[in-house]
Amino acid sequence: MLAAVLAALAAGGAVCRAPDWLSEGEALDIPFSGMAPAAAQAAAQAALAGQKVDAIAQAAATRRKALLLADMDSTIVTTETLDELAAEAGLKERIAAITARAMNGELDFKSALRERVAMLKGLPEAALQRTWETTELMPGARALVATMRAAGAHAALVSGGFTFFTGRVAALVGFHEHHANQLILADGALTGTVAEPILDRDSKLATLLRLAQSLGLPLERSLTVGDGANDLPMLQSAGLGIAFRAKPTVQAAAHARVNHGDLTALLFAQGFRRAEFAAM
């Protein structure tokens, strides 16, 4: 497998130096020159076709990122929290079908969100806490944020989901800040409405641009990660945008993909060795 990748890079004009294991048997660094990162990544992915291996190529000088902007649902946590909340109302299958289409870019995100939330009108507020208690972190989430923070990076969570969950995830994982939509409650139950304006794909991109500017960072020093169509603008604008186990349309449009590793793949992509991962 390694020989096939090295041969593919050499065929494209790359000069490769000695491969370096960042984690033995798990993550391998192949320093190269003489080939654009995008072309090198395409060549490596072609050589690895059918193998359960992720390949990400980028310029060595800017691979360490100083800003992390992450989606929450199906990225930092393993589930779609709105779908799990819908299970409390016996509507998971119906609402999950809408979620899947919205995340694949087949539906307008704002309209789809309003439609799904309206279906939950009258659901007791306690259902939010029950949903949170069954929510699990994606493997590698804590290591990703802790290691980047230890290296001086700013970490933000930005979600088309809800602040009830992003606030708890941010506190648990260690994000500096979080941004999401706010469910409206009255008399101990959901009203079936969400506060305006709705945080959507444009809002995620705007958050990336604002944070980069406020931190005095060029966009090439930013890392974004997400799985849905509403993540694409921030994935395509960041120095490194990673589609993580993403929907088909997102995989096709994103510059980099992780389909096999966990979130620590984002650390390996920056050149961190497993021995350098921050304690969690």
What is the set of active-site residues?
Answer: 71, 73
Continuous segment of H or E residues that includes residue 39: helix 37-47
Domain count across the chain: 2
3-state class of 121 per DSSP?
coil
> Does one domain contain both 13 and 79?
no
Give CA–CA dist 41/109, Å, rounded. 31
Per-chain mean pLDDT for the chain: 97
Is 60 in the same domain as 16?
Answer: no
Confidence at 204, pLDDT banded by 50, 70, 90: very high
Boundaries of domain holding 34: 1-45
The residues pairing with 32 across neighbouring beta strands, listed in sequence order, are: 16
Give pLDDT, residue 279. Answer: 76
Comparing CA positions, the residue from 63, 104, 97 lying closest to residue 82 is: 97
Same domain, 72 and 41: no
Q: Do 63 and 148 reside in the same domain of the chain?
A: yes
The verdict on 34 and 62 lying in the same domain is no
Residue type, 252: A
Q: Calculate the CA dihedral of residues 27, 175, 183, 75 and round it to 10 degrees.
A: 0
| Residue whose pair of structure tokens reads 């069954």 in the numeric block | 134
The answer to whether residues 88 and 172 belong to one domain is: yes
Residue 23 main-chain phi, psi, to 5 deg: -150, 115
Q: Tell me if 147 sits within 8 A of 267, measured CB to CB.
A: yes
Are 75 and 250 in contact by the 8 Å Cβ rule? The answer is: no
Quick one: 145 and 236 in the same domain?
A: yes
Res. 87: pLDDT tops 80: yes
Q: How long is the chain?
A: 280
Number of DSSP helices (H) and strands (E) in the chain, helices first: 12, 12
pLDDT in tens, 216-226: 999 999 999 99
pTM (2 decimals)? 0.96
Give the pLDDT mean for 40-48: 94
